[in-house]
Every structure is written in C-alpha cells, then in structure tokens.
Structure 1
Amino acid sequence: MTRPKLVIFDCDGVLVDSEPPTLELLREEFEQCGLSVTMPHIESEYVGMTMVNVAKKARAAGADLPDDWKDSIYLKMFERLKKGVPLIDGIEGALDALDAAGIPYAVGSNGPMAKMDITLGAHPAFLARLTGRIFSAHDCKAGKPDPELFLKAAAFMGVAPEHCVVVDDSQSGVIAGRRAGMRTLGFDTFGDGAHLIAEGAEHLASMDDLPAMIGL
C-alpha cells in the first residue's frame, strides 16, 4: 500500500466530538419552527452540511425558519460549544503516528473558522499541531460536497490530489473527497459505514485503525 503524502481531516465528528450538541440544537430549532424530526433523522440528513444548505433543506421540509436564522444559529451554537467538547478517541495517537512517519496533515471543514476556534481552541496543545493548516469552506466559493475545500488544502500543502487521503464522517465530505480525486476514508464508529461506503469511501471504524489503513 502506498503511503499518502497528506491526510486531510474533517473537524466536527472527526477531530472533536462536537456533533451531538450541535445536532441537538438543530433539532430544537426545527421543533420551534414547526418541523418535528428525530435525532436519527437529523444525523442522517443534516450532518456535514453548511448552515446555508441546512436552512434550505429544513425550509423545504416545512420549517418556518426566520430570514436571519443562519446568523442566529451560529451565535447559539457557539455559546453551547463554549461549554467544551472532547477530542475524538484515538485522534491524538493517529496524529502521533503521522508525525512519526513524516506525513503532514491538515483540516478541511464546512464549519466557519470561528467555530473551530472554539472547539479546537478548548484543546490548546492539540490546536497547536494544526495551526496554519486549517481550512474552512466559508473561505471557498462552495462547501462540501464541492471538492474546492480539499483541493485548496492540498494545493496549499503542495501535494497532488492523488497523493492525499481524506478522513470525513459525512456523505457530503466523502463525495467531496471522491470528486477531488483523493482516497477517502468514511469515519463511522457507531455503524458499518454503509452510507459512506455507498458514496465511495472505505470504512474507518476507529482512529486507532487509521495508521494501518494508510500503510504505516
């Protein structure tokens, strides 16, 4: 197996376990705006999307979201995330293995930098390992599933797409990785990753398995 020259990680649900409080907030917001959905539905339909696309999808499903909802939801989200979110189990060891092998890594997230400043910033030593290599779709023309974000990260790091590996836990991220021409690992610790495999990913069940999957 050929080792990659760059590994690009999603942030939410891959580096930090920030999705549970974020998705619960979405469920509450939808409920207040006339759309009653379960958490499993939120998890399957809204994970990995930009808030612009979340709003479009929710409105199409019947949620009467106010015009300024995107701005207000970020303010509420940031306050909730400031309570702290843990790192994903095994991620520090995975980065240790990449460092030992001399393989660089970067972050490509659909979330805004301000959100990552909060979630990653709660872990200063971990954030220091990523400084200067964090990329947000808010600085691109389009977010995932558009491949621009991953291609931008690869170009900045000076690595051709075919030598990159993407690690993402969402269907939109997996599609973006595939469209970018990168090997893509679908991170799913609670299931068999079938929904990610269907989009072209290889299932990564634990961060402890990452080094072996990329030939380390």
Structure 2
Amino acid sequence: MSSTAPAVARSAISPADPVLRGGWEVSARRSTADLTLSDESSLAKILVRGGVNGAVRQVVGTRFGRAARTERAGHPVLAVGSGPGEWLVIGPTGTARALLEDLESAASGTGEFASVLDVTHGRALVRLRGRRSADVLNKICGIDLDDASTPDGAALRTSVAAVATDLVRDDGPGAGEPSYLLHVERSSGQHLFDVLLDAGAEFGIEVTGPELDTWSE
C-alpha cells in the first residue's frame, strides 16, 4: 500500500540550500553579513478590505500608511495599512487559517462590509536588513527613505524595480538596524529578489534564510 507524500509549499523565489520548515521549502543559509536579503514568503498573509475610517480599521489595529506589531488569535502579527481601506496582516508560518477565521469573525461583528482573503501562496514577501538597506532601495525606488520621512512602522505602496510593491519599514523589537519588508505579487517575486541582490552587490549583500524566529510564539 503506497503512502502519499505530504504536500510541500514553495515560494516563487528559488531557495539557496533548501530545507523543509513548517511545510515550506525555505533556505537554510545563515549569513552574518551587515546587509542581508531573505525570502519571507512562507509567513501567513491575510488581506483585509473595508471602509477607510470605519470599524474594520479598528479590528485590524492600524491606519493607512502605518504598520504595528500586535496579536491575533494568540499569534504575533504585523498589521500593515497598505492602502486606503486595505490592510495586510502578516503572521507566523502555518497560522493563515487561524488568522483568517479570527479576522473574518471580528470583521463580520462590525456590521460593515469587509472582505478577508488568504493571499499567503499568491504573494511574495522579502526582507532587506542592514545599515545600508536604504542605500540599496534608493537605487531602484524613488521614495525618500530617510529616517525622518520613513521611520520604523512606516508603510507605503510604490514602485520598486518597476514592480508595484508594498514597502514596510519593520526594524523589529530590539533590532537596532533598518529592515524593510517588500510585498509583491507572486509572479514578481524572483525578479524583485534578483534586482535587490544586484543593487546591493556593491554593499556586500548576502542571502540568508527567513527570519522565522522573529515570529516565534
């Protein structure tokens, strides 16, 4: 009697030194370079749409243009105000179902129209971390990334490497260095990753595995 192998989820970005973690094929590579790029696509990603200033905004917990670390369904999440009346909730790998159900229940309780959609497998998410990360982005993005203009917690939608991108400044607790999350359609993931590597070459950029410990329970 044959047994069926468990399904393996894969990002649009080819992993270096692939291993399985949480049902996903991810990179096992670890770099201590001052500038790193990682594929974080295995993180849960829930898209929420509703009224710009209504109760749905209160449910998600942040406003347009800002990102905030909070908790949902017992899991740490990053809630991102990615557009007017549009939010992205990012959580630990494997929590998409729990986050989806929690957000659907909370949004329906407001009495307002809202849509809640799991886009985990349909989107790519990468993290650029390091002191020179803004210098890398300045080569392929027209946004002013000075600390005064885009501090930790800033969120915006812009063009990066000619790709429509949600760009989030997310230094993380106690990180002490700039870190940016870049969220794009799955089909653009590998292109964005490759362009970021090329732009960061002069600054010594290295690929590292996903920072899944950042989202530990």
More helix by share: 1
More strand by share: 2
Q: Same fold (TM over 0.5)?
A: no
